[in-house]
Structure 1
């Protein structure tokens, strides 16, 4: 396995860059947001770089604008650049998972499998927010794994996520505070401080989000936006009636569908195989989670991902009803999903080893 540790990151880079080419070919055929981010067909003569000093989508344009206007780089180069940027996040995640796996070969194999999931590489190789947000998400995950619960890098990564997607940053912050309250023996004073910080961050994220969306109608306005999304997705080829499913099936669809033979086409065939693998791993993880709950419920790397993924999924299953959008969205949750799997299987492996020692002692 030592050779694997040295060679695999290089192979992973080549594998990741392959998806830059696949993504480029896909967008040329099917079109997508990448064309808008690269200003294809747009007149930039009256535009300035400072026009894009705003959160959200403009973060991507802030990066692409000089590449297009001043350097006149071709469209394909954008996929290469964004793939190289997102690979930093891929590498951070890989090293973090391998550190958690330690010397256990079974866990190392699991890490390799998780790092080869095609959906993860495809969406982070396109010109878009997924490539940029992956880096702060994986940094946040790595700091958490190293128990650096209040580090500067953790805070910076959270703020970076907020600039790109404020609502995801809110989910991270809320889940993080709840996980700290559940897993750390904090005094009442420190709990109050944590809740106060969460309130301040919620205000910041709300302010950023209000700059991107009109929420003047309050909660009713949010429901209207959700309904508008569903109405649009009904007109698309990838529509899935998520709006009509009960909540458990919404969650199942978000993470594990389409399954084999549900949708036609090569791309759906590939993703269905990936979904099947994730479903099998998740079923085993669910079994071990119940079996070793007394141990796992005290672990930050179990409690935080469970809370975060639940809230994250709950937020999106009411807004989206299209397989493509769902597959793109869940990429943001994959670093935490992977950590959760490695943590649960790690505890299972440790306990199985301990049982053998007791048996033969």
Structure 2
């Protein structure tokens, strides 16, 4: 495993560059947001770089504008650049998961399997927000696993997420605040400080979100946007009636569908195999979570991902009804999902070893 650990990042880079090329070919054939981000067919003569110095989608355009206007790089170069940029996040996640695995061969194999799942490589190799947001998400996870709960890098990573997707940053902040309360016996003063920090972050994220979209109608406006999304996705090939499912099945669909033979085509076939792997791992993780709950409930790397993924999934299952957009959105939750799986299996491995030692006959 030592040799694999040394060469795996290099192999992973080659594996990833394949997805950059594949993503390029896919967008050429099917079109997508990457064309808009690379200003294909757009006249930039009257545009300035500072026009895109804004949060949200313009963060991507702020990076691509000079590459297109000043350097005149081809479309394929954009995929290679974004794939290499987000590869930093892939390496951070890989090293973080290996750190949690603590030299256990079984856990290291699990990490390798998780790092080879194709969906998050595909979406983070495209020109878009997923490639950029993946880096701060993995930095946040890494700081968490190192128990740097209030570090500068943790705060910077959260702010970076907020600049790209403020609602995701709010979900992370809320889950983080709750996880801290559940796992640490804070004094009333500390709890008040945490609540104040959450309120400050919420105000910032709300301001960023309202600067990007119109929410003047309050919660009713949010529901209208959700309904508009559903109507937009109904004619698409990847439509799934998520809006008509009960909540547990919404969650199941978001993370584990399509399963094999649900959809035709080799792309759906690859995705369904990945979903099956995630489903099997999740079933084992659920079993071990119940079995070792008395231990896991005190661990930040268990409590935080569980809360975060629940709120994160709840936010999106009412908005989307298309397999493609669901899989793209799911990428943002994958670093936390992977950390959760490795943490649970890590506790299970240690628990099973301890049980075996107790059962050994004494000499």
Give the TM-score normalised by the residue count of structure 2: 0.99
Query: CA offset at residue 344 of structure 1?
Result: 0.3
Cα deviations by residue, 1:96-125 (Å, 9 ceiling, x for unpaired): 000100111000000000000000100000
Secondary structure of 2:46's match? coil
In structure 2, C-alpha distance between the alignment counterparts of 1:117 and 1:5, rounded to whole Å:
17
Match for residue 295 of structure 1? Answer: 295
1:84 aligns with 2:101: no
Correspondence 1:107-122 to 2 at 5 A: 107-122=107-122
Correspondence 1:4-19 to 2 at 5 A: 4-19=4-19
In structure 2, C-alpha distance between the alignment counterparts of 1:216 and 1:281, rounded to whole Å:
42
Cα deviations by residue, 1:22-47 (Å, 9 ceiling, x for unpaired): 00000000000000000000000000
Match for residue 128 of structure 1? Answer: 128
In structure 2, C-alpha distance between the alignment counterparts of 1:266 and 1:125, rounded to whole Å:
20
1:305 aligns with 2:305: yes
Cα deviations by residue, 1:240-271 (Å, 9 ceiling, x for unpaired): 00000000000000000000000011110000
Match for residue 66 of structure 1? Answer: 66
Match for residue 249 of structure 1? Answer: 249
Cα deviations by residue, 1:181-221 (Å, 9 ceiling, x for unpaired): 00011101100110111011000000000011000111111
Correspondence 1:199-348 to 2 at 5 A: 199-348=199-348
Match for residue 103 of structure 1? Answer: 103
RMSD: 0.5
Secondary structure of 2:148's match? coil
Unaligned stretches of 5+ residues in structure 1: none
The count of corresponding residues between Structure 1 and Structure 2 is 361
Query: CA offset at residue 285 of structure 1?
Result: 0.2
In structure 1, C-alpha distance between the alignment counterparts of 2:235 and 2:212, rounded to whole Å:
25
Match for residue 189 of structure 1? Answer: 189
In structure 1, C-alpha distance between the alignment counterparts of 2:17 and 2:336, rounded to whole Å:
23
Correspondence 1:162-201 to 2 at 5 A: 162-201=162-201
In structure 2, C-alpha distance between the alignment counterparts of 1:114 and 1:123, rounded to whole Å:
15
In structure 2, C-alpha distance between the alignment counterparts of 1:347 and 1:220, rounded to whole Å:
44
Unaligned stretches of 5+ residues in structure 2: none
Query: CA offset at residue 235 of structure 1?
Result: 1.4
Q: Runs of at least 4 residues of structure 1 off by over 2 A?
A: none
Query: CA offset at residue 356 of structure 1?
Result: 1.2
